[in-house]
Structure 1
Amino acid sequence: MTAERPIFRPLDAFPVRAPVQTRWDDNDIYGHVNNVVYYSYFDTVVNRHLIEAGALDIHDGEVIGLVVETGCRYCAPLAFPEPVTAGMGVAHVGRSSVRYEIGLYGADHAEAAAEGFFIHVYVDRATRRPTELPARFREVLEAARF
């Protein structure tokens, strides 16, 4: 019985694309980026986009995102010092939650090495209670929708 490769989106299907720098310590004993590091890449791509777009102020903003669910499917290894490009898009926007979907692509960009998702619930920084997404946040999210 042969397992079929998962079908992932092509890089150009993602509304947002960004480089991800692999690091020496991302590789594990088997010579490739360890599976848990992919989640760090996902989180970095999402938050960097929000910060650069002026939607998220990680130091003084009233709203912060908490991860409530994640997932990842792996298809091919990545390894330091390989350049990686992440594709990111918004699949769902709720009152206080967002589902981000991310693909990671190696140097050739031909096929995704992995595809995953993060669901963030945005909460009031002080109370940690879910709060409605601010208008600027919604604008940035809508611009990154699939």
Structure 2
Amino acid sequence: MSRIDYHAFRDVPTRWMDNDAYGHVNNVVYYSWFDTAVNALLVEWGLLDIQHGRTIGLVVETGCRYFRSVAFPQVVEAGVRIAHVGTSSVRWEVGLFTAGHEGPCAEGHFIHVYVDRDSRRPAPLPEEWRTCLAELTTR
């Protein structure tokens, strides 16, 4: 994959504490970047109300493939796209890029199942969500 395969981008700065004893960003930090990129989009679009929204997303599956190391003080560009929208779920795909590279340093995915905040039972995605999410669906 390359940058052109992703539809929305967000810069995520690395932090000094992200580096591990081997001198590069620890693998667990990549999952934080995935979560940040996707949820920031949802908040910006007015779809996710973290404090009061009736629908919340629970992660039920994750995965990541690493291709190239990243280290502080690099800035990561997280590209987001959607591979699948179900009745109450979305498979998000995120490519992490650094300046000067067309190919990703890592690619990951996670699946959100959207549920009612109180019952934690799956909730169908509202039409407003489907309309917005269509902009990120892979072609």
Q: TM-score range by the shorter chain?
A: over 0.9
Distance 1:39 1:71 in 2: 9
Query: 1:138 is matched with which residue?
Result: 130
Distance 2:21 2:104 in 1: 22
Distance 2:10 2:65 in 1: 20
CA contact (8 A) 1:27 1:34 kept: yes
Query: 1:53 is matched with which residue?
Result: 45
Query: 2:63 is matched with which residue?
Result: 71
Deviations 1:72-116 (A, max 9, x none): 000000111101101110100000000000000012132200000
Distance 2:43 2:88 in 1: 18
Question: Bigger shift: 38-47 or 11-20?
Answer: 11-20
Between the aligned residues of both structures, percent identity stands at 57
What's the TM-score once normalised by structure 1's chain length? 0.92
Query: 2:30 is matched with which residue?
Result: 38
Distance 1:60 1:109 in 2: 40
What's the TM-score once normalised by structure 2's chain length? 0.96
Q: How many residues align?
A: 138
List, as ranges, runs of 4+ consecutive aligned residues in structure 1 with deviation greater than 4 Å. Answer: none
Distance 2:99 2:72 in 1: 11
CA contact (8 A) 1:18 1:45 kept: yes
For structure 1, the 5+ residue unaligned runs are 1-8
Distance 2:101 2:114 in 1: 32
**Which residue of the other structure, out of 68, 84, 102, is the alignment partner of 2:94?**
102
Distance 1:137 1:24 in 2: 36
Distance 2:81 2:90 in 1: 10
